[in-house]
Amino acid sequence: MSQTEDRARFLVAYDQNLRTDAETPSALKVTQHGPLRLVTFMKGRGFVTYQDLGDVDSSSVRRLVAEATAYYVAEPGINRVEWKTRGHDHAPGLHQALLESGFVQDEPESIMIGEAMALSAPVPLPDGVSLRQVADEADVRAMSAMQDEVFGEPVSDEMADALLRRLSLGDGMQLWVAEAEGQMVSAGRLEPVPGTSFAGIWGGATREEWRGRGIYRALTARRAQAALELGKTLIHSDSTEFSRPILERSGLLKVSTTTPYRWVRD
């Protein structure tokens, strides 16, 4: 099968399997509004997604955006909202409608999908580097703090609290870290998607001074092995331009793009 055929097959599987409850396993509340899924997460975070918008025109899109924004404005506990768009969707006028409603466009990412088997070949680690799965609260908070630092964000408890809540649910999520010289130098999580062949790899972060040594590829391979152990045969991820080439070398294909738009309460 050609890469073009694989991309088409993967994109159909993505739309059918990964744009439903699979996107929001840690949601506190999901409200269906027409085609939209209006999601509430911990710590005042809202999230808008959908499987598709149907045969809409620009006026319908503008109305949906206005109604979704009004929904969150009326929820005093919500302080910020992400609207997740996809490059292959039929959504005329969505970009402009979001800007008019106070959303700000973020950097686009690549939607990557591939066979777990292609990623699972072991990658040699540099001397002194080891991989392990973590679940204890202290380890989870240390992992989350390291990721915040790598992504240039203030260290906060928000992601750690969300990860600990997910672990308490026992839904199969796994957290993996690479360690060297007594510190975590790379980390990422694996999220198996119930009822599908998919597992997602997310949160990949490596300290700058440890990049270029194959650590992230090794961490990806280990998560792919864990996915196969769970019976998952497909891997998906939203990838930055830093990690996309690494995933492509491991066999994943770019099937589309996703661009978040962010609204913050004044």
Domain range annotation of the chain = 19-110+259-264, 114-257
Q: Mean pLDDT across the stretch 90-102?
A: 98
What pLDDT, on the 0 to 100 scale, is given for residue 2? 87
The topology under which CATH files domain 114-257 is: Aminopeptidase (3.40.630)
| Mean pLDDT score, 82-100 | 97
Q: DSSP letters along 151-186, please?
A: TT----SHHHHHHHHHHHHTSS-EEEEEEETTEEEE
pLDDT at site 236: 96
pTM: 0.90
**How would residue 36 be classed by pLDDT, with cut points 50, 70 and 90?**
very high
Residue bearing the bigger pLDDT, 179 or 157: 179
Q: Which CATH architecture has domain 19-110+259-264?
A: 3-Layer(aba) Sandwich (3.40)
The mean per-residue pLDDT over the stretch 159-181 comes to: 94
Query: What pLDDT, on the 0 to 100 scale, is given for residue 99?
Result: 98
Residues 6+ apart with CB under 8 A from 118: 224, 250, 251, 252
Distance separating alpha carbons of residues 253 and 10, to the nearest angstrom: 9
Topology agreement, domain 19-110+259-264 and domain 114-257: yes
Q: For residue 83, give both structure tokens.
A: 């609207």
| pLDDT over threshold 80, residue 1 | no
